[in-house]
Amino acid sequence: PEGMAARIDGLLTQAVAADAKERLQLGRRIIAHGEPALPVLLRGLDGTEIERRRLSAYLLGLSNDPRPLPDLDLVRSDPDEELRFEAATAMIRLGDRRGFTTLIDGLEHQDPITRRRSSSMLRAATGETFGYRHDDHVEERRAAVARWRAWAARQPAPRGP
């Protein structure tokens, strides 16, 4: 088991330094390890290297294992915005609706790239847009965000860990 964890940790280190295509391939290899990958990814999530933390959150979302949900939920309050969005998206992928709040908040961000990313993640998760366009005038965006918030309020209670 220790040897396996070291191999998975090595793959994670390689993935952090890799280009996007190789990162995806290495990420798939990490997730293919199943159960032994979880402790490595949880350590990565709690570490100090931000790219490793972001990648760990992303990969935990692909794990199909709800046990990391409490850790991912804690990360939603991290100062790093990209990490918060990765954790929220991972939570949604794992069936925890609490991640939607973070992404809906991102629709109101001052940066259009952040708004577009939040919108894309929400659309991918729900198939909905509620008329939201990241580059619309602020009043139109506000109205669409209100529709998103109304939708979120109608959803079943979030699944807890």
pLDDT, one tens digit per residue, over 4-15 is 999 999 999 999
Unique residue bearing structure tokens 């760990």 = 56
**DSSP designation for 77:** T
**What pLDDT is stored for residue 115 in this prediction?**
93
First and final C-alpha spacing in the chain: 26
Q: State the average pLDDT for the chain.
A: 93
In the Cβ-directed half-sphere of 93, how many Cα atoms lie within 13 Å? 20
Calpha distance 100→122 (Å, rounded): 7
Is residue 1 over pLDDT 70? Answer: no
- What count of other Cβ atoms lies within 10 Å of the Cβ of residue 81? 14
Calpha distance 55→119 (Å, rounded): 20
Is residue 23 over pLDDT 70? Answer: yes
How much is the CA Rg of the chain, to the nearest whole Å? 17
Is residue 158 over pLDDT 70? Answer: no
Chain center to CA of 11: 20
Q: What angle do CA 123, 124, 125 make, to 5 degrees?
A: 90
**DSSP designation for 78:** -
The mean pLDDT value for 124-143 works out to 95
- Amino acid at position 151, single letter: W
